[in-house]
Amino acid sequence: MCSIDIEARAYLYREFPKYYVWNPKGKTWTKRKTRSVIGRIAIGIYDIPQLDHKMLEGCPSECREINEELSVQIPSKDFDAQSQLDPEQEQAFTKIVQTIDTRTTGIFFVDGPGGTGKIYLYRALLANIRSKGVVPKSTRVEIVNASLVKSYLRPLMEKIQFTRNMRERTDPTFSEFLLRVGYRDEPIIRDNLILLPKQLTIKHCRDEIPEESIIKEICPNLQENATRSTYVTKRAILASRNDHVDNLNDRLISMFPGESKTFNSFDSAKDDTNTITKKNI
């Protein structure tokens, strides 16, 4: 509206409905009609400065979201991803892009277990679409309406299923194991538990503490490499509970050479596992 009516630029979003009316048939905004009304309303005249319209002459005609989208720098790796898709991804990519290029109607839902490359496909699609530009002259309402979050159109989406794990290029055995777990095809040994492959487990002696076995496997020669940032940042140990995390942190810190230092913080995070009381239970 700001591009065709200079007066519209003087109003904020919350003020806009006061001066303009939405016409659903024509899908456009029109000025509200004003008329003289006789009543018992006392109107005070205040010395409010008029808005300088000259300041708005240099404003872009597109809305802020469109300008931000046009200014996005597309990473080169996202461009390269278009030529590095596996057969399933390439089939989905071609189908979606053809639907966009031919301006035909289509709604797609890409599904698949973790590691099948859904995000990789999204990046390739975004790089392709952004390189062609975006929908011109769109409004904030049109941008919001274009989203599909909890949309009634969801049942009409064409589902694209991914089954091939991208890791199978380097580790096909682990890839097949992940797919079996994702599709619940991996045999269960007891109580809904699966048996992990031997190559994913860490053996430890009976006399050794399990946490120390994990640390030795993930961080070998820790004391000799403690000052190397790449050695530390490329390793991680994940745990399912906060108390396990605290235990591992304490053991790792005690293994670093030198004296330990404590840095006090103004903020503190409450550990839920330590604040549960019988009353809460």
- If asked whether residues 15 and 78 sit together in one domain, one would say no
- If asked whether residues 36 and 91 sit together in one domain, one would say no
Angstrom distance (rounded) from CA 146 to CA 134? 12
pLDDT digits (tens, 9 = 90+) for 95-145: 999 998 888 888 888 888 777 889 999 999 988 888 876 654 555 555 555
Task: Check pLDDT > 60 for residue 160.
Answer: yes
Domain assignment present for residue 173? The answer is: no
Angstrom distance (rounded) from CA 24 to CA 15? 19
Checking 22-31 for CB contacts under 8 A at 24+ apart, the result is 29/1, 31/5
- If asked whether residues 14 and 46 sit together in one domain, one would say yes
- If asked whether residues 145 and 225 sit together in one domain, one would say no
pLDDT tier for residue 37 given thresholds of 50, 70 and 90? very low
pLDDT digits (tens, 9 = 90+) for 194-234: 888 888 888 877 777 888 888 888 999 988 898 888 898 88
Interior angle at CA 147, CA 84 and CA 17, nearest 5: 145
Domain assignment present for residue 181? The answer is: no
**What does the pLDDT read at residue 62?**
57
**What does the pLDDT read at residue 172?**
79
Q: Give the residue from 61, 81, 108 where a domain finishes.
A: 61
Domain assignment present for residue 40? The answer is: yes
Domain assignment present for residue 21? The answer is: yes
pTM greater than the 0.85 cutoff: no
Domain assignment present for residue 170? The answer is: no
Domain assignment present for residue 12? The answer is: yes
- If asked whether residues 90 and 17 sit together in one domain, one would say no
**What does the pLDDT read at residue 90?**
93
- The owner of tokens 């899908």 is 27
pLDDT (average), residues 157-180: 78
- If asked whether residues 76 and 114 sit together in one domain, one would say yes
* Percent of the chain clearing pLDDT 70 (strictly above): 71
pLDDT tier for residue 5 given thresholds of 50, 70 and 90? confident
pLDDT digits (tens, 9 = 90+) for 229-244: 889 888 999 888 999 9
Angstrom distance (rounded) from CA 241 to CA 56? 56
- If asked whether residues 57 and 82 sit together in one domain, one would say no
Terminal-residue alpha carbon distance, the chain: 57
- If asked whether residues 101 and 46 sit together in one domain, one would say no
Q: Give the residue from 34, 61, 88 where a domain finishes.
A: 61
Domain assignment present for residue 135? The answer is: yes
- If asked whether residues 55 and 134 sit together in one domain, one would say no
Angstrom distance (rounded) from CA 224 to CA 228? 9
Domain that holds residue 97: 69-161
Split into its structural domains, the chain has a count of: 3
The 3-state DSSP composition of the chain as helix, strand, coil percent (nearest 5) reads 40, 5, 50
pLDDT tier for residue 94 given thresholds of 50, 70 and 90? very high
- If asked whether residues 53 and 74 sit together in one domain, one would say no
Provide the Cα torsion 98, 100, 104, 106; round to 10°: 90
- If asked whether residues 15 and 81 sit together in one domain, one would say no
pLDDT tier for residue 25 given thresholds of 50, 70 and 90? confident
C-alpha atoms less than 13 angstroms from C-alpha of 59 in its C-beta half-sphere: 19
Domain assignment present for residue 225? The answer is: yes
- If asked whether residues 80 and 107 sit together in one domain, one would say yes
Angstrom distance (rounded) from CA 146 to CA 159? 19
Angstrom distance (rounded) from CA 255 to CA 15? 63
